[in-house]
Chains A and B, each alone.
Chain A
Amino acid sequence: MSATLVAAPSRAAGRHTGVRRARARRVLYWIATHAVAVALTIAFAGPLVFVLLTAVMSDNQALTDELWPHTWNWANFADVFARSPILVWLRNTMIYAGLGTLFTLLSSVPVAYALARFRFPGRRLAFLLVITMMMLPPQVIAVPIYLIWARMDLTGTLWPLVLPMLLGDAFSIFLLRQFLLTIPRDYTDAARVDGCSDLRTLVRVILPMARPAIAATALFQFFYCWNDYYGPLLYAGENWTLSVGLASFKALHSVQWNLTMAATLLVMAPVIIVFFFAQKVFIEGVTLTGVKG
């Protein structure tokens, strides 16, 4: 900045130091931003690292506040399976997440397609209602819905968790509609000119193009079910899922933090593994939910 004020004779030299200073500032800026990024990396990854380090500690060491394990007891993971019915919890979780995802896709894709493509009176209202359903806290309507399932004698089973998904899931409809709107009308119009029915257009033209959005919806729904604690706590009775089991793990099996952290890691592991294979799908899906209506 001050370089321009330097008197004429030393102008060349002045510009030279100016450039050098600008470069020095850029290097400093580079170092500063990346230093903050590294600090944040430690903050974000640190919890997972400490969970792993504790998960392999011996029972005795888990009673101390030491950070680094003396011995690496990988057998702790096997111990989790031996001491708790984690495989039963896993089976229940898989049933919930698997059926839930399947039902959601089957019911939500046609609805999203109709909302994105058909021109009919009340189309905007229908979309606003989808948003409203998405935003309504599930606890608000929990009592009457619980009574419906109780009257059908289905409380204490996994059915109240998955059956409603046959009737569409608001978040999935929203996500799919957002994506389908980005497909140019030309494609569907061309199919219609060729004499395709709506169903055929959906299956042959739209679905192949919407694969990334369907993958994102499926992943989101699968992990929603996988992570859900409120639903199973309310309905599943003794058919515990992983999240209900993990919440009670430490007290129920009177174990130390090391086994508790081993179990915690086991619950996290599938999500982390899938993420590394499908990272792009996730990021694109999240971006889709954050932008315009």
Chain B
Amino acid sequence: MAVIPLRRREGLKALLWLSPWLAGFGVFFAYPLLATVYFSFFKYDLFSLSFTGLDNYAYFLKDDRAWISIRNTAWLVVVMVPAQVLFALGVAQLVTRLKAGVGFFRTVFYLPSLIPVTAGTVAFVFLMNPATGPVNRILGLAGVQGPDWFGDKDWSKPGLTLLAMWGVGNLMVIFLAALLDVPRHLYEAAAIDGAGAWRQFRSITLPTIRPVLMFSAVTGVIYTLQYFTQAMIAARVASGTTDAPGTAFTPGYPEMSTLTLPQWLFQTGFRDYTMGYACVLALVLFAASLVFTLILLRQFRGFEEVAS
């Protein structure tokens, strides 16, 4: 049939157009992924490569700091992601109810999410420092003794969570668009039937925005698994160390409470140069993100079926 050559021509054309990305896929995705598995069986310090079998994996099982970093990352996934999603949803809900100054409020709520993470983190370490920071000063005026935030192992992760909630503007804008898409007549019909605000939210709003909510929660989890910059900088600024060459710095200050899995991978791979072992940690991180990426892909398939 004549259809096949045409399709083949389309296929070749697509191949040509996609070729830069296909090259990128090979060099910066497929190859490194396979190489990571390969290197995980070797002792590798950038200069010499020697096969050690499962030694790296055995070391992983008894590496306390790896497990601490996994626990910290899990803490962030369980606490920080829901805090961000619920807070963003609440703020977006509020914006839909406002009558005056909507543009102003939306701008103010969105702006912090654009602030460079480095700058935002340095700012928060200052704001929450116990000696001169305004946060504890204001808490003090209200009669509350503020904690040592980024200097206290019990308060450093809650501090990072507040930082994350401050930068929730992206999510807020996404939720706002979804909320405004909910057909108004549904609410009117529900109001006539005597449904209260909570009932309307549960029976109309939530089911309508559920796909967007799920999408945001899953991507939130995946991004939190990569959590690196804020934790690293908070620890660095709070402990008063620098990135200057030759400076010793063990991430996770205070007392490894902010040590996340990507940071431990970075430390073992690119500071201690135990690159084979870092590959084991990389595979653990990969497995965790893969689970959530698959959930995300399933959602996308659902979308496409609905769309077509």
Contacts and interface: CB of A to CB of B under 8 A. Distances in A.
Contacts of B304: 124, 293
A291 B219 CA distance: 12
B128 to A, nearest CB: 10
Interface stretch (A40-48, A71-79, A185-193, A209-217): A40-48
Interface string A111-146: 101110011111110101111110111111111111
Contacts of B107: 279
A292 interface: yes
Interface string A253-279: 000010011001101100110010001
B28 A164 contact: yes
A136 B94 contact: no
Contacts of B166: 43-44, 47
Nearest to B293: A135
A36 interface: yes
A144 B110 contact: no
A190 to B, nearest CB: 19
Contacts of A129: 25
Contacts of B119: 243, 246, 264-265, 267-268
Given A41-B105, A135-B219, A143-B278, A283 B114 contact: no
Q: Is the interface of A mostly helix, strand, loop or mixed?
A: helix
Given A40-B91, A41-B105, A135-B219, A291 B178 contact: yes
A37 interface: yes
20 contacts: A37-B105, A40-B91, A41-B109, A43-B166, A47-B123, A50-B134, A67-B138, A107-B21, A118-B10, A120-B14, A135-B292, A136-B29, A142-B270, A143-B36, A144-B39, A147-B275, A164-B24, A168-B20, A244-B243, A283-B110
Interface of B: 7, 10-11, 13-15, 17-18, 20-21, 23-25, 27-29, 31-33, 35-36, 39, 46, 91, 94-95, 97-101, 105, 107-112, 114-119, 121-124, 126-127, 129, 131-134, 136-138, 166, 170, 173-175, 177-178, 211-212, 215-216, 219, 222, 225-226, 228-229, 232-233, 236-237, 240-245, 262, 265-266, 269-270, 275, 278-279, 282-283, 285-286, 289, 292-293, 296-297, 299-300, 303-304, 306-307
